[in-house]
A and B are shown apart, each in its own frame.
Chain A
Amino acid sequence: MIALEDVTIAYGTGPRAVAAVQDFTLAVPEGEAVGLVGESGSGKSTVLRAVAGLIPHAKGEITLAGVRVDRRRTTAQRKMSQMVFQDPYGSLHPNQTVDQILALPVAIHRLDRGEARIVQALGEVGLGREHRYRYPHQLSGGQRQRVAIARALILEPRILLLDEPTSALDVSVQAEILNLLARLRREYGLTLLMVSHDLAVIAHLCERIGVMTGGRLVEITSATAMANNQVTHDYTRELLRSNAGFDRSSVGGGEPIKASQD
């Protein structure tokens, strides 16, 4: 469903171009959920943006449902993949009601039964009629993220791209959103590509996990293998250790700590 072959993504052009992602290859079959973990600057969000069609890629091929795509896409190609962003505050227009936000995709794609679709999309994400005419600032963070999910679903995409969809939310709200995403995925047979710095969140939703650092995919393994510590790359081990919480024994007492690349 999603296939990336030797994809290199660079910022800037000419001699000053900086490669954010290099020789990235990944295939996600239909219905599968794959997560990418890594730190900021590892290139994980860049990959997601290129798949979404927000930024161009310099080399390689991106294929969605068998069709080669680029930054410029047809309306039909746009409809196929939708994205949920990290920040539920920044991803909704501050001056528009939920109704207006959901009406925009309906208008762009000239969908029929617009009214019914909006009501249905709100219902799918667990929001009621009373939320329909509110402005984003009148909603909680979790409700806003639900609106963002409804906006993505109203186009009936086959691919859902998730960029840290719960990292701005509280633990209890995160659980609600993760449950919602898991249910929607089941019901619609969605193919998911998700990015997060939180290993546990990724492992909860995805079957396979790719580990990125320095713009490269260093390891790809199953969530089960990850949980059983069956990993090969050093960086993945470090991630797993950090994920387990603070461990006094893991950092040497008074010894200077290796200065990181800062």
Chain B
Amino acid sequence: MPLIPESGRAWLLDPTPASRMQARCGRWFRAWLGFRRNGLAMTGLGIVLLLVLMAVFAPLIADRQATTLQDLGNRLQPVSWHHLFGTDELGRDIFARVVFGSRITLTIVAMVAVIVVPVGLAIGLPAGYFGGIVDKVLMRITDIFLSFPRLVLALAFAAALGPGIENAVIAIALTAWPPYARLARAETLTSRRAEFIQAAELQGASALRIIATQIVPICLPSVIIRLTLDMAGIILTAAGLGFLGLGAQPPAPEWGAMVSSGRQVLLDQWWVATIPGLAIFIVSLGFNLLGDGLRDAGDARS
């Protein structure tokens, strides 16, 4: 059962596209054909897609009320038909909490990505393109941020700004951007001397235009791959902050906080901490596999 009808496939694989749109779609489709052969990467993609679907359709999958509904008479119930993943120390349904927790995880991931990539590019691209004093100043700033231990800095920020999911995101983003700046700088340095950049310069393109139209398309793929591989770390940091009580605040169903609350009963009621822990593990693994696959696909093309 082909997903795309034969005529669409021919249109996509046409070696002589008739429009910019068709050329771009064809390029993506070819990349997809290569990516599709990589089983592990497809598994990763599946996990990430599943996470997104779960977050979007959470109200259809589980009962929103159940995430916060305390039922002390039913606390620490084991896995059963009524409570698929059991209940926690306040009698809340863990299944519902895990499902709705995916929304929090996804929010953190999306917000960090939205902050980290532009900041990294904004620092790294000019540093690599202009070099000299601009490079020195920007990279020293980056070094300062890099030299702080990541989790400790995030902790300090979260503690100073007050616990909460927004502050956790800011704390993580502040510590996560320096590697992106370095990556963007390194990619810029390698393409800086490329003849197509010189050609653009000769045509009279301004520095801003060269960076935006010539260098960004070169940097973006590696930045996105790096981001995907970093997602696991970001999710774990977020969970760590939640675990320490500096991330999302109760009663929000944040996975890290759920693991934390389950640790007193880890030996007798293992599922309370293990199930959200498993969720963190699977999602991190999914992002890692996806990132590796994207990297392989990128390597194959170049």
Contact = CB atoms under 8 A, between A and B. Distances in A.
Interface string A87-108: 1001111111101100011001
A135 B20 contact: no
A148 interface: yes
B202 interface: yes
Given A90-B196, A92-B196, A99-B20, A135 B204 contact: no
A135 B218 CA distance: 14
Contacts of B15: 134, 138
In this complex, which of B16, B195, B198, B199 has the most chain A Cβ atoms within 10 angstroms of its Cβ?
Answer: B199
B8 interface: no
Interface stretch (B33-41, B56-64, B209-217): B209-217
B197 to A, nearest CB: 9
Interface stretch (A74-82, A220-228, A249-257): A74-82
A177 B278 CA distance: 62
Candidate in A82, A104, A138 with the most chain B CB atoms within 10 angstroms: A104
A52 interface: yes
Contacts of B198: 54, 85, 91
B199 A108 contact: no
A83 B20 contact: no
B23 to A, nearest CB: 4
A151 B194 CA distance: 16
B177 to A, nearest CB: 24
B17 A93 contact: no
A53 B17 contact: no
B204 A151 contact: no
A54 B203 contact: no
Contact of B199 (A81, A85, A129, A138): A85
A74 B201 CA distance: 12
Contact of A95 (B22, B201, B204, B217): B217
B213 to A, nearest CB: 7
Contact of B200 (A104, A138, A148): A104
B203 A104 contact: yes
Interface in A97-136: 97, 99-100, 104-105, 108-109, 129-131, 133-135
Contacts of A93: 196, 214, 217
Given A96-B217, A104-B205, A148-B199, A90 B18 contact: no
Contacts of A91: 195-196, 198-199
B203 A155 contact: yes
Given A87-B195, A95-B217, A82 B202 contact: yes
B23 A97 contact: yes
A108 B204 contact: yes
Contact of B20 (A94, A100, A131, A151): A100
Interface in B185-244: 194-196, 198-205, 209, 213-214, 217-218
Contacts of A108: 203-205, 209
Nearest to A154: B203
Given A90-B194, A96-B217, A135-B27, A151 B16 contact: no
A135 B16 contact: no
A83 B23 contact: no
B19 interface: yes
Contacts of B209: 108
Nearest to A92: B196
Contact of A104 (B24, B27, B213): B213
Interface of A: 52-54, 73, 75, 78-79, 81-83, 85-87, 90-97, 99-100, 104-105, 108-109, 129-131, 133-135, 138, 148, 151, 155
Interface of B: 15-20, 22-24, 27, 194-196, 198-205, 209, 213-214, 217-218, 302
